[in-house]
Amino acid sequence: AQTVTQSQPEMSVQEAETVTLSCTYDTSENNYYLFWYKQPPSRQMILVIRQEAYKQQNATENRFSVNFQKAAKSFSLKISDSQLGDTAMYFCALEGSNYQLIWGAGTKLIIKP
């Protein structure tokens, strides 16, 4: 079975600090996609960053970057220079064998001023 585990239910950091959210997964596929989605309070879920498993280079999007370790099945999200607008629920997701998404339980991230 394919699974996604986020072991940090809630985290909080001061504005401008760097924070890393953890995600581990399990799949028997060799090629797949991993995603981090963000759900701000009372707002729509949006894609933050996507990683293709066959690419060794870690994906980056401005202040957001991932540390993808395929052998360890680990996919962490690093947010640099955190801002108040980064306060949100963050979900890690794995593309399943039938192209559906398998979701982690989420991490609530609070950025304190």
Partner 1 sequence: DVKVTQSSRYLVKRTGEKVFLECVQDMDHENMFWYRQDPGLGLRLIYFSYDVKMKEKGDIPEGYSVSREKKERFSLILESASTNQTSMYLCASSPPRGRALGEQFFGPGTRLTVL
Q: Which amino acid is at 22?
A: S
* Residue 110 interacts with partner 1 (CB under 8 A): yes or no: no
Question: Per CB under 8 A, which region of 20-28, 37-45, 60-68, 69-77 contacts partner 1?
Answer: 37-45
Tokens 């039938």 — which residue? 98
Asked if 73 and 23 touch (Cβ cutoff 8 Å), the reply is no
For residue 39, give the nearest of 100, 94, 87 by alpha carbon: 87
Among residues 16, 47, 84, 110, which is the contact residue for partner 1, using CB under 8 A?
47
CA distances from 104 to 14, 35, 75 (A): 25, 10, 12
Q: Is 33 in the site for partner 1 (CB under 8 A)?
A: yes
By CB under 8 A, what part of segment 58-87 binds partner 1? none
**Interacting residues with partner 1 (CB under 8 A):** 4, 6, 9, 31, 33, 35, 43-47, 50, 91, 95, 99-101, 103-106
